[in-house]
Structure 1
Amino acid sequence: MTHVIELVEHAPAVGIALPDAVGQALAAGDIVDAAPDPYVSGHWSLRAGSKVGAVAVAVPGGGGPITVRVVPKVSIARLFFLLGYSLAPKSGWRDGEVDVTAHPDLLPALAHAVERQIDRALRQGLLQGYRVTEEKSMVVRGRILEAEQIRRRFGATLPVELEYDEFTTDIAENRLLRAAVERLLRLPGVPHDVRRGLLHQRARLADVAVIPRGQPLPTWQPNRLNSRYEQALRLARTVLDNASFEHAPGGLRIDGFLFDMNKLFEDFVTVALREACRRLGHSARLQDSHHLDEAAAIRMRPDFVLYEPGGAPCAVVDAKYKAEKREGFPDADLYQMLAYCTALGLREGHLVYAKGNAPHAAHTVRHAGIVIHQHALDLDQEPSDLLSDVEEVAARLVSTPHI
């Protein structure tokens, strides 16, 4: 029988009776903040941070696994909007293609979304393409690999080492879809009806090779031929990038899926700002590399740098998924932004938070004349209102003066 522990993102810590090995595995896996209770043996204090989702930890000595589920503070529908917009801002999932009403928890909703997107992608059949294949054969086709023939066959005539382009369904796009399906089928908490749909998709992809564990994922480039796959591929990559599988100290197996809300918020803010600024005639780069010092020894990578048509930086933004403290925003963020503005030669810098006591605040740095703006986005509001707030921030960025 599976024991489920439910935590809420950034909520106060709770005391839970746990085997020490499981508590140590959770702490070592950077899943939640876990510490043993100094007064009660066998009890642990668990506190969820910014990672949401579910993981299962095998209990030593048999018995069912212990599943730790971390619930996000935002609704699942809003989380999927943030994810969908950051992956595909021109379409996202605002058109009702991903129905999360039937599955209020994150992992079931995600698994359902992946299954539906793959089903839509495969309705016209599996995509085919050319893949470079190397093999030995008794019949010559393609190009003979002379060096391999000499090295492996010692100059023998047959079999022949060949390389040729094969038109097949076993291509990167289909391999990624199958990898996501296989990964979801191993995760805890996928409902029976969704699992049945995933098994159906796996059957459709039966002729596609499974990516061995530990091997790098294949790459793909959007084009006219794979456009019907694009939504499914981006979502599949999200599953593969955020799924966890490891053996913790003591040989325990941890299997699950965790979203980092810090990364999700950063991706949404930077992509939404880039789209808004593009409509205003400016270009932006995400995670652009710059240096703080003249010797270029101290590297810094702001989340978002806006450039004028001539190529000079004109605004800098960092996204911070943090709740504003009662007495104000964290001071360390201000120091970081001051460094960005100084190095980039900007008179103003912008910090964007997930929520705050006020929608906007500004601080002028003494003896520097640099103004640091702090914006707060309310993620609980409707997507159209949220994007309108982003547009307001973008308008302020475009009008930011530089030194």
Structure 2
Amino acid sequence: MTPVVEIVEHAPAVSLALPDAVGRALAAGGILAAAPDPYAPGRWSLRAGSKVGSVAVGVPGTDEAFTVRVVPKVPVARLFFLLGYSLDPQGAWREGEVEVAEHRDLLPALAHTVERQVDRALRQGLLQGYRTTEESALVVRGRIREAEQIRRRFGATLPVEVTYDEFTADIAENRLLRAAVERLLRLPGVPGDVRRRLLHQRGRLADVTVVVRGQPLPVWRPTRLNARYHTALRLARVVLENASAEHAPGGLRIDGFLFDMNKLFEDFVTVALREALHGAGLTSRLQDVHHLDEAAAVRMRPDFVLYGADGVPAAVVDAKYKAEQRGGFPDADLYQMLAYCTALGLREGHLVYAKGNASHAAHRVRHAGILIHQHALDLDQQPARLLADIAAVALRMLPDLRV
């Protein structure tokens, strides 16, 4: 039986008996903070950060394997709302439409959700489209590639180097879905019933080219024709972009799936703010590059910058997935926001945290007159309440605007 180690994100470190090779692999993979326990030989001190999910570490040539599961503090159903909203705030996919309540762990819930969305996408059959194909043929089809014909055939009549547009199901959308299904089937911890349904979906996509791991993912664009695929495709990209690297440090194999809660929270806050301020005649940019100094040598990338009608920065926001400690939020965040406000010429700045002891606090900087707001969002509440709290943050930004 494979041992399972369960750790809660950002919880105090725990001491566990682990083979040294496994401990070193966990530390080298950046999965969590791992170090030998100085007080207990043969044990390792493990502490999870903001990455949640599940990874398996197996030693080749033995039956020994370890599964490390990092449990998010946010309920899985709420986490999926944050994910769904950040992917498509106007879409129909919402917490109520995704049956995650029966799956309390992240990976089973994700696999279940992806399989259900793939099934919905393929219910009317595989989407087809035109794909440009280049090949050698015995008959002329499409256009002759004259340069290739001369270079490769030296004047020979046959075969002919041709290029043509083929109407096929082997298109980017279906390739992405198959890649996500294949990836989930390789991950440890997917329930048996979900795995059987994923195998069924793989069968439906059997004629689609498999995306080779390490190659760029196929590019797709949302259109009216592929509308029924949108949710499944966005979830497929989440699976493929958040899969942990398969590698073998020191003869060990690590495979799994990890969400970075820092990025998930940042994506949710910035998208929700953009939606809350929609229609105000303003422009918002996410991760916009600015510079602290006049020589443009020091780069800054605030999470969210709002611009007025004149194109001048009007408000700045940075999202921090941190819980308030007894001594308050880290002072370094205040210094960072002060730098943003100074460089952008703003009177106020806004820091948004995942949770805190109070919903709002503000600090006026001496001799600068800059007011820095600290907002705290309780993620463990109903989506409507959470979005209302985001709207309240957006409302506090309005006095900053110079329009």
TM-score of the pair, normalised by structure 2:
0.97
Q: Does the CA-based 8 Å contact 1:341-1:347 persist in structure 2?
A: yes
Aligned twin of 1:268: 268
What displacement does 1:38 show? 2.1
What displacement does 1:37 show? 1.5
Separation in 2, partners of 1:94, 1:207: 31
Q: Which amino acid aligns with 2:88?
A: A
Q: What are the superposed Cα offsets for residues 238-293 of structure 1, whole Å, 9 maximum, x if unpaired?
A: 00000113224212111000000000000000000000011444221111111111
Unaligned runs of 5+ in 2: none
Separation in 2, partners of 1:397, 1:92: 29
What displacement does 1:401 show? 4.8
Q: Secondary structure at the match of 1:255?
A: strand
Q: Secondary structure at the match of 1:240?
A: helix
Q: Does 1:54 align with 2:54?
A: yes
Aligned twin of 1:257: 257
Q: Does the CA-based 8 Å contact 1:245-1:253 persist in structure 2?
A: no
Q: Does the CA-based 8 Å contact 1:346-1:402 persist in structure 2?
A: no
Separation in 2, partners of 1:95, 1:195: 22
Q: Does the CA-based 8 Å contact 1:84-1:92 persist in structure 2?
A: no
Separation in 2, partners of 1:27, 1:361: 37
Aligned twin of 1:126: 126
Aligned twin of 1:165: 165
Separation in 2, partners of 1:87, 1:51: 19
Aligned twin of 1:240: 240
Q: Does the CA-based 8 Å contact 2:81-2:95 persist in structure 1?
A: no
What displacement does 1:92 show? 5.6
Q: What are the superposed Cα offsets for residues 275-333 of structure 1, whole Å, 9 maximum, x if unpaired?
A: 00114442211111111111222221110001112322100000000011211111111
Aligned twin of 1:31: 31
Q: Which amino acid aligns with 1:200?
A: H
Q: Does 1:372 align with 2:372?
A: yes
Q: How does 1:373-392 map to 2 (within 5 A)?
A: 373-392=373-392
Separation in 1, partners of 2:95, 2:8: 29
Q: What are the superposed Cα offsets for residues 207-255 of structure 1, whole Å, 9 maximum, x if unpaired?
A: 1000011110011111100111000000000000001132242121110
Q: Secondary structure at the match of 2:167?
A: strand
Q: Does 1:209 align with 2:209?
A: yes
- Percentage identity across aligned positions? 78
Task: Tell which deviates more after alignment, 167-176 or 239-248.
Answer: 239-248
Separation in 2, partners of 1:329, 1:402: 29
What displacement does 1:194 show? 0.2
Q: Does the CA-based 8 Å contact 1:127-1:226 persist in structure 2?
A: yes
Q: Does 1:100 align with 2:112?
A: no
Aligned twin of 1:177: 177
User: How many residue pairs get matched?
Assistant: 403
Separation in 2, partners of 1:331, 1:230: 41
Task: Tell which deviates more after alignment, 52-61 or 233-242.
Answer: 52-61
Task: Tell which deviates more after alignment, 290-299 or 3-12.
Answer: 290-299
Separation in 2, partners of 1:294, 1:248: 46
Q: Does the CA-based 8 Å contact 1:81-1:92 persist in structure 2?
A: no
Unaligned runs of 5+ in 1: none
Task: Tell which deviates more after alignment, 32-41 or 385-394.
Answer: 32-41
Separation in 2, partners of 1:280, 1:329: 31
Separation in 1, partners of 2:293, 2:41: 52
Gap change, CA 1:261 and 1:92, over 3 Å in 2 = farther
Q: Which amino acid aligns with 2:158?
A: L
Separation in 2, partners of 1:363, 1:344: 18
Q: Which amino acid aligns with 2:267?
A: D
Q: Does the CA-based 8 Å contact 1:307-1:313 persist in structure 2?
A: yes
Q: What are the superposed Cα offsets for residues 319-372 of structure 1, whole Å, 9 maximum, x if unpaired?
A: 000011211111111111111111111100000000011111111111111111
Q: Secondary structure at the match of 1:399?
A: helix
Q: What are the superposed Cα offsets for residues 69-100 of structure 1, whole Å, 9 maximum, x if unpaired?
A: 00000100000000000001013633622110
Aligned twin of 1:348: 348
Aligned twin of 1:310: 310
Q: Does the CA-based 8 Å contact 1:175-1:210 persist in structure 2?
A: yes
Q: Does 1:289 align with 2:274?
A: no
Aligned twin of 1:322: 322
Q: Does the CA-based 8 Å contact 2:77-2:95 persist in structure 1?
A: no
Q: Does 1:135 align with 2:158?
A: no
Q: Which amino acid aligns with 1:243?
A: A
Give the alignment's Cα RMSD to 1 decimal.
Answer: 1.3
Q: Secondary structure at the match of 1:112?
A: helix
Q: Secondary structure at the match of 2:7?
A: strand
Q: Secondary structure at the match of 1:180?
A: helix
What displacement does 1:136 show? 0.6
Q: Secondary structure at the match of 2:247?
A: strand
Q: Which amino acid aligns with 2:111?
A: A
Separation in 2, partners of 1:350, 1:101: 34
Task: Tell which deviates more after alignment, 146-155 or 168-177.
Answer: 146-155
What displacement does 1:60 show? 4.7
TM-score of the pair, normalised by structure 1:
0.97
Q: Does the CA-based 8 Å contact 1:352-1:377 persist in structure 2?
A: yes
Aligned twin of 1:66: 66
Q: What are the superposed Cα offsets for residues 39-90 of structure 1, whole Å, 9 maximum, x if unpaired?
A: 3222111111110000000125401421000000010000000000000101
Task: Tell which deviates more after alignment, 138-147 or 204-213.
Answer: 138-147
Q: Which amino acid aligns with 1:87?
A: L
Q: Secondary structure at the match of 2:166?
A: strand
